[in-house]
Amino acid sequence: MQHLHSKDNLDTYVAWFSETLSDFYAQPRNRQVTQHLDKEELVSRIIQENPPEQGIGFDSMKMLLKDTIMAYGVKTWHPHFFNQMSAGTPAPAVVSSAIASMINSTLSTYEAAPTATIVERNVAQWMAQLLGMPEGSGGIFLPGGSLSNLLALTLARKRKFYDKTQQQSVYAVANAQPAILCSKHSHYSVSNAAMVLGIMPQNIIAVKTNHRGEMDPKDLATQLKNAVKNGLLPFAVVANLGVSVTGGFDPLSEIVAVCKPYDIHIHGDAAFGGGMALTDQRDILFKGIEHVDTVTWDAHKCLYMPLTSSVLLTPHLGALRQCFSSGADYLFREEIEDDPCMARDLGSETLLCGKRFEALPLWMFFNTYGVSAMREMVQSRLELAREFASYLDQVPEFELPFNPVSPLLNFRYLPAHVENASPERQDEYQRWVREKLRVKGQALFNIATLNDRKYLRMILINPLTTMDDLKNIANQIIDAGQELEAKVSSPTLMSSHQSR
């Protein structure tokens, strides 16, 4: 292995890294967002029955990566990629992510990673400040919003049910029925977290939403009251700050007001929507944030950082520490309370032991370009989404259910002759056009179910996407739809088309 550390070897790898970047990444428009190959063919190209006892060597591996893995992989940085809530990442983040791999310290203890610990504490504090959380708030970076949500709800449970000694859990009382309230549009990680915490499925109470999937605070009040009346122990309310399906925002300040009379933890799931705190919408969308107990915010979504870079923020840092320090005394030092807060071991605030330097790309970005560059980028994506929405609203073939609150658009392709067709047939059109553009490599966006109907769903967070790209894609959708119309006389067509 020694030679792998040699200067020559390093030069070879760095040259290859740079080659790969300029080939695939630097000119995204030279390739399509997707390159289609049938599944069977792709599987047969990649699968090897046995782990390769003898390697194929650097040159062959390079070819395999370039011609298969990269070629048929999805180009998330392509300006026509709208499928997921994470899309590409800027070159400085690609490189800083590689540097984090080189550093390879585990951030569980200060001793193991003194500088990285301070950086992570500091960036978390910035994030809390950008949202408008109370002074002294901070948190911890985690591999994904799903884990942040789990830890947030674990903290909520601990705050409600464990006594001061941390020894006795009221929750352990026989027949206790702890419950959480969230909207039916909450991210699925919320119900997974509840399952891990042992909450009965019937005690995950789904609050009604409006047409944009945003929580109805009146229904929250009713459900909360009923829950208590029925002997349940509601301990957390989850507010969606960026609904996964629609990009809408639950009305935070109204939720805070409803929760006030109760001893209940408010969790803001801003995994997607957190980025809107860097836009001119912050004071509207995050009103009430100073009363929120925990927030999940994914920098790998609207802030364009590499997967994964999620932060769990809270004003209750002491409680977070009490929640997860199970006292591995070979690891965590006893004098923890005396540490200045920026130097406290991160490992005692999370379920993780080995912990990657996830905050580095964001720290480097903010230091190099300033938060202002990020604000400009996020604001421009919000404006692009609004502009495309008003464009679609003018084109008769499209239907827009509501204006976007964040850079996420839902719309339907509904040309005149389909307007009176059955809902199922209309849904089929959405799947058809989506699949056509995907297979042709024209654009990759998703399908969402909203109020029982299928919508095209585009996430517009990539800074490379322009209004011209979007107009072209709208035209390609219309073309794909007309192609279907022309073929529709064939009765087998619709049934043979496979949806997702």
Ligand X SMILES: *Cc1c(COP(=O)(O)O)cnc(C)c1O
Judged by CB under 6 A, does residue 125 bind ligand X? Answer: no
Nearer to ligand X, 189 or 442 (CB): 189
Among the candidate windows 94-102, 138-146, 277-285, 378-386, which touches ligand X by CB under 6 A? Answer: 138-146
Q: Pattern of binders to ligand X over 147-166, x per CB under 6 A?
A: --x-----------------
Among the candidate windows 60-68, 173-181, 240-248, 318-326, which touches ligand X by CB under 6 A? Answer: 240-248
Pick from 88, 90, 139, 144 the residue near ligand X by CB under 6 A: 144
Minimum separation from the CB atom of position 234 to ligand X (A): 20
Pick from 158, 160, 187, 321 the residue near ligand X by CB under 6 A: 187
Q: Pattern of binders to ligand X over 332-361, x per CB under 6 A?
A: ------------------------------
Minimum separation from the CB atom of position 45 to ligand X (A): 28
> How far is residue 107's CA from residue 97's CA, in Å, rounded to a whole number?
15
Nearer to ligand X, 86 or 465 (CB): 86
Among the candidate windows 8-16, 122-130, 267-275, 387-395, which touches ligand X by CB under 6 A? Answer: 267-275
Q: Which residue is nearest to ligand X (CB)?
A: 145
Pick from 146, 223, 294, 426 the residue near ligand X by CB under 6 A: 146
Minimum separation from the CB atom of position 376 to ligand X (A): 23
Closest CA to 85 of 415, 305, 258: 305
Among the candidate windows 264-272, 346-354, 382-390, 481-489, which touches ligand X by CB under 6 A? Answer: 264-272
**Site size with ligand X, rule: CB under 6 A:** 16
Pick from 189, 314, 406, 446 the residue near ligand X by CB under 6 A: 189
Judged by CB under 6 A, does residue 271 bind ligand X? Answer: yes
Nearer to ligand X, 310 or 442 (CB): 310
Judged by CB under 6 A, does residue 410 bind ligand X? Answer: no
* CA distance to 142, 179, 256, per residue, from 153 (Å): 14, 11, 17
Judged by CB under 6 A, does residue 145 bind ligand X? Answer: yes
Minimum separation from the CB atom of position 242 to ligand X (A): 6
> How far is residue 278's CA from residue 271's CA, in Å, rounded to a whole number?
14
Among the candidate windows 60-68, 268-276, 333-341, 365-373, which touches ligand X by CB under 6 A? Answer: 268-276
Pick from 83, 223, 310, 426 the residue near ligand X by CB under 6 A: 310
Residue 65: count other Cβ atoms within 10 Å of its Cβ.
14
Pick from 214, 254, 293, 298 the residue near ligand X by CB under 6 A: 298
- The strand pair at 446-450 and 233-240 is best described as unpaired
Pick from 28, 78, 82, 85 the residue near ligand X by CB under 6 A: 85
Note whether 367 and 361 are within 8 A (CB).
no
Judged by CB under 6 A, does residue 268 bind ligand X? Answer: no
Minimum separation from the CB atom of position 180 to ligand X (A): 14
Pick from 28, 242, 288, 361 the residue near ligand X by CB under 6 A: 242
Minimum separation from the CB atom of position 171 to ligand X (A): 24
Minimum separation from the CB atom of position 84 to ligand X (A): 9
> How far is residue 389's CA from residue 403's CA, in Å, rounded to a whole number?
7
Pick from 244, 294, 410, 465 the residue near ligand X by CB under 6 A: 244
Judged by CB under 6 A, does residue 269 bind ligand X? Answer: yes
To 10 degrees, what angle do helices 467-487 and 423-440 make? Answer: 120
Judged by CB under 6 A, does residue 430 bind ligand X? Answer: no
> How far is residue 410's CA from residue 78's CA, in Å, rounded to a whole number?
20
Pick from 249, 272, 411, 445 the residue near ligand X by CB under 6 A: 272
Side-by-side strand order, sheet with 204-207:
138-142, 310-314, 294-298, 265-269, 233-240, 178-183, 204-207
Nearer to ligand X, 193 or 433 (CB): 193
Nearer to ligand X, 273 or 481 (CB): 273
Residues of this chain that bind ligand X (CB under 6 A): 85, 144-146, 149, 187, 189, 240, 242, 244, 269, 271-272, 298, 308, 310
